[in-house]
Amino acid sequence: MLRWRIRRALRRGPPEVTDDIVRRIEEEGFVPSDDPGRLDEEAARREEERFWGETWDRPEDPWE
């Protein structure tokens, strides 16, 4: 499966950036994509909130 994804990605070539895409980035801040590798932004936000909400204990000092 990984080899198939790599071959498919290489066939596509680099994305083409047009003036319309640049204008859209300037207006909206991003360009929507149907790329299956796109991040789930909501899941990333939840995970970040969970991470920063954890309490962190200082490691014990073996010399004390």
Q: Does residue 14 surpass a pLDDT of 70?
A: no
Residue of 60 and 14 predicted with greater confidence: 60
Q: What is the pLDDT of residue 50?
A: 92
Condensed to tens digits (0 to 9), the pLDDT of residues 25-55 reads 899 888 777 666 667 889 999 999 999 998 8
pLDDT, the chain, mean: 81
Task: Transcribe 13-64 into DSSP letters.
Answer: -SPP--HHHHHHHHHHSS-----TT---HHHHHHHHHHHHHS--PPPPPTT-
Residue of 8 and 45 predicted with greater confidence: 45
